[in-house]
A and B are shown apart, each in its own frame.
Chain A
């Protein structure tokens, strides 16, 4: 039996994604070693998931992790050129899919590990120093917007997963399962130290998280001041905003400043 190349490839892909046997009729002797491809497809992807989510693996245990990761990769065929991005949707999938959604700490751990990974190998960019703020002309401040370092990313977490993950990273046994934050979810930031390339992370204060999200979405400094005035002390909002901004600059989070229609050295 002969078939055009693309038709054979469709049948081969169907086999790996759904187990359909139609390709066998086009293989010599029915393809007795087709099982090598069957096995390699999921085995390779599970290996990658294990490497990217070791703390999720530990939290769930071998069997449950294999079950979760298998269901995820079966349901989400990779569309990226690098297997690096295979787990990009794992956090949301865990959070949305029964029974894993009944254990929200697992999705939080996946988000934490993914955030660390993004910070680790995102492209480089030159971060601004504090001196860049001093050079901003007064008329630019209200409409000032910000570019952020590619390594910087955030995640909202309901559990304090960092001690568990960090113990694992030090090859120590985590003392206890992560605890739920008493006051609801917290926004955590992950970034990379420009000098050492070491990955950093911390929880943002509640008003800091609100203000940061606004700038991240393209909001300007005036809007930052206004939103901080709503959630904290109105009179001190500008000072408060400047304080946060300085901290973000010092951490290397910001790579560019701009104001529509204005330019400065």
Chain B
């Protein structure tokens, strides 16, 4: 088996089982040709075999891949899970991903996994805790990881810094990368009343390794990051600003519910491609 050696660049999609027939079937070439890479949810392929593994490797032969986790729980109080890290490394060794990422969050304490991306107080104490753990994870994996800004719905009275400053300092202390989720910036900015432009301006240019786009649910006084709808117009606007600042960062659309036909997502990805080209053209002009 030969892994695809194409460079990790351009525009990708989250790999979802519903789309395996489109990607690997005889009629998939046209749509697949418009997807430069795929991102997998790491936990879905850790220590698995059978058809899921067979499909994963078939896709990996055709395209570069990124690994995106949801259970690293980098901010948790519990010690890092060595068994989890071992399985994560095994998967990374198998598919040679361009990026290994997870979220700036915690997912549970005392051995419990709440399977949600829970918010952290933005304090010096948290920064020290997370930075030390990122270092240990990177040592265990033998590679740099990227952390994603999660959508948040609360902030803590103990917060002493903005999220963008927290992330910027984290990249310096831990020497890690960032996965910038533009929808999450928009969602958190709306929910907490900060300016998304300030967020982008505070993120170091040289640390953004990958960009996520996704849809959300607007509930009037707050927005929920649902990944169940097309990317919203204001998020496209923010993406344009992000491309102007960060350049041609590999960008993908995440869809986890109400998953549309593969061709529809490819079409939506085309919009990202066009918008990024425009933004880069304007920035160069």
Contact = CB atoms under 8 A, between A and B. Distances in A.
Interface of A: 1-6, 8-10, 12-13, 16-17, 26-28, 31-34, 36-37, 40-41, 44-45, 48, 77-84, 86, 119-125, 150-151, 192, 197
Contacts of B71: 81-82
B123 A5 contact: yes
B129 A44 contact: no
B51 interface: yes
B53 A82 contact: no
Interface string B92-131: 0000000000000010111111111010110101100100
B50 A5 contact: no
A155 to B, nearest CB: 19
Contacts of A26: 156-158
Q: Across chains A and B, which 3 residue pairs bring their CB atoms closest together, nearest first?
A: A124-B49, A33-B153, A36-B153
A37 B116 contact: yes
A48 B41 CA distance: 15
Q: How large is the interface on B (under 10, 10 to 19, 20 to 34, 35 or more residues)?
A: 35 or more
A78 B112 contact: yes
Nearest to A119: B50
B155 A28 contact: yes
Q: Which of A4, A26, A40, A125 has the most CB of B within 10 A?
A: A40
Contacts of B120: 5
A9 B106 contact: yes
A4 B125 CA distance: 8
A88 B46 CA distance: 17
Q: Which of A9, A45, A80, A86 has the most CB of B within 10 A?
A: A9
Contact of B153 (A37, A78, A125): A37
B101 to A, nearest CB: 16
B54 interface: yes
